[in-house]
Structure 1
């Protein structure tokens, strides 16, 4: 029997669905595996907490050896800072509108805070927000390595770092995101090579203006195993803590290394060859395509072919998998990050399903 199904069978009478289930032993193995890889390569791990938004999981990552955490916005950083995390990088081009300027300044007074930048206007805004305390805030210049998201050309990194230094901020280094590594199994290593080339060029650009970068930061879960070049000082994987079908399809993890699934119940069987689950977009997001499916059922070839807000449409493939109304099944998401924001807590067990704890999704709803 599939590990996820076995754990679920042991829990089924004690939970309501839909519910996110964590196998804590599998999760810990994922944390330890990534940390061991980084240690072998002489890299620091700065995991991205947007994947789990959970203080307890963040502490486990720090206890395993992570140097600090990566956050996606000021709100996430505030939640984790309040819980005692004192080294945080907001890997996002924050614009200091509304209350963000004073909030950033307050954070920088109490923790080691760095923020991503990719334009001169944002650098000036951050410096204005910090005022006389500009020297407390580190900035890390984001460069584009092919994902075509945010980030300047690597050759322009030095100009931004010099501008930050001129305004009294601390130019700490450079970072990038090789998001195009998720395009397919063959894209992972190519994206990592693009990342290496971009970071090398960015380092040269900083050195040309007299700045030696303290941090040269790389992502991500799909490309982490190829982040072996000596210019890189840290990696920022996020999804590795849970993994998902997307990473399994890419070859970045195995099915046995998936540590989170959503327990879903069959609630209707009125259409021949199809059942309806209670796992719609409000439980698992909408990552996927009609061809790929929108999540899978562990241990089977079945995938959700369509989602409404509260309905998951599950065509039944040929074979023995014929769940009846009332059956609870393990739904494995294509992409785990959009799942966690839908729930206030995790149900935490292990591969046997004998234990049961509940951990808060502490930073849920903190999106600015």
Structure 2
């Protein structure tokens, strides 16, 4: 096993515990479990999720879809509108190898997919906006109108409605997070109801988002969950109150490279930890990661290969040059994508198979 740093470390026992919690929740609430793999980007972990009861996986890109199909995953949902000709052609090729579900949120996107799949047909899910204000039609009447349009197009099988309440990552209180979870579930269930009032059956009503999954997932009418980060957790989730540091399965191992009167310098900078403090405005995150062995320390500054930790000259900081620390990242999904492999607590090395994978 490599001992060099910076190193992406995975605690297999913690990951398995997180996975078991999700799988048990899905089973107890009769939900289809379709986890998002953009967090881990690993064939090995995706197979473990399938073994735990997942019906398939969710991806953000076709690169990720291809890696998952290569791993033998039988059903892949692409939670991103596919409209570019090159991507549609690639999607058609992938659809010959596995069951694909594609996102739609515009009539233009629907038309382009219909033209491409008029001979073969493909399952599509309509995305509704539950408050993030990114992709997605407005729930209710606008969703039903697009569903009607899609249902009349050849080549498209409208089988689901889904949303992503990413604004939950910016919640400043538990009450706000729970309100977002309610809004998330209702946006999907209400939209599906409006569609079914018009005679359009919507068998899948899917929610995602780790901060809300255990709350939105219990709403009557929700059938499908797609959490990603919950396989690992990170300091954003800790700040939101949905996890504790001991629930975080991924850390970055770093070495003290330099020590001065008022600071330590470690060999993990922005190319190992990223500069993110929460993509959706979460203010609970302090610094650039949580030093597990010394929570009193804060990583104050990152350059590309350096992390700077201020120390009190009178504190007698015990860390010396070549000592190592483990850092829980602010955002695990971004951090994982910076590494080629995991060093697993079992002694194994697992590849980050879909690293990059942005197309």
TM-score normalized with structure 2 length: 0.92
Instruction: Give the aligned partner of residue 161 of structure 1.
Output: 147
Matched position secondary structure for 1:216? strand
Distance 1:320 1:335 in 2: 31
The 5-angstrom pairing of residues 249-328 of structure 1 reads: 249-270=239-260, 272-288=261-277, 292-299=286-293, 300-316=295-311, 321-328=317-324
1:249, CA displacement in angstroms?
A: 1.6
1:177, CA displacement in angstroms?
A: 0.9
Distance 1:109 1:28 in 2: 32
1:319, CA displacement in angstroms?
A: 5.3
Distance 1:205 1:106 in 2: 34
Matched position secondary structure for 2:239? helix
Q: Provide runs of 4+ in structure 1 moved above 3 Å.
A: 317-322
TM-score normalized with structure 1 length: 0.90
Distance 1:249 1:211 in 2: 41
The 5-angstrom pairing of residues 141-220 of structure 1 reads: 141-155=126-140, 156-168=142-154, 169-183=156-170, 184-186=172-174, 187-220=176-209
| Contact 1:22–1:348 (8 Å) recurs in 2 | yes
| Contact 2:82–2:88 (8 Å) recurs in 1 | no
| Contact 2:189–2:205 (8 Å) recurs in 1 | no
Residues 274-310 of structure 1: per-residue CA shift (max 9 Å, x gap): 1111111111111128982111101412221111111
| Contact 1:73–1:94 (8 Å) recurs in 2 | no
Q: Answer yes or no: is 1:105 the counterpart of 2:95.
A: no
Structure 2 runs not aligned, ≥5 long: none
Distance 1:177 1:267 in 2: 41
Matched position secondary structure for 2:119? helix
Instruction: Give the aligned partner of residue 31 of structure 2.
Output: 43
Q: 1:139 aligns with which of 105, 115, 124?
A: 124
1:170, CA displacement in angstroms?
A: 0.5
The 5-angstrom pairing of residues 70-89 of structure 1 reads: 70-89=58-77
The 5-angstrom pairing of residues 21-40 of structure 1 reads: 21-40=9-28
Distance 1:185 1:287 in 2: 21
Residues 32-78 of structure 1: per-residue CA shift (max 9 Å, x gap): 01111121112121100000000000000110111110000111111
Distance 1:33 1:347 in 2: 23
1:110, CA displacement in angstroms?
A: 2.3
Distance 2:147 2:316 in 1: 60
| Contact 1:304–1:314 (8 Å) recurs in 2 | yes
Q: Relative to structure 1, is the Cα distance of residues 320 and 94 closer, same or farther in structure 2, using a 3 angstrom cutoff?
A: farther
Matched position secondary structure for 1:177? coil
| Contact 2:82–2:103 (8 Å) recurs in 1 | yes
Aligned length: 347
Q: 1:64 aligns with which of 52, 74, 78?
A: 52
Residues 9-53 of structure 1: per-residue CA shift (max 9 Å, x gap): xx8xx5110010001111011100111112111212110000000
* Cα RMSD (Å): 1.7
Q: Relative to structure 1, is the Cα distance of residues 320 and 225 closer, same or farther in structure 2, using a 3 angstrom cutoff?
A: farther
1:120, CA displacement in angstroms?
A: 0.7
Instruction: Give the aligned partner of residue 4 of structure 1.
Output: none
Q: Relative to structure 1, is the Cα distance of residues 314 and 166 closer, same or farther in structure 2, using a 3 angstrom cutoff?
A: same
1:320, CA displacement in angstroms?
A: 6.1
Distance 1:301 1:142 in 2: 43
1:95, CA displacement in angstroms?
A: 2.1
Residues 250-277 of structure 1: per-residue CA shift (max 9 Å, x gap): 111122111100001111123x321111
Which has more helix, going by share of residues?
Answer: 1
1:196, CA displacement in angstroms?
A: 2.0
Matched position secondary structure for 1:150? coil
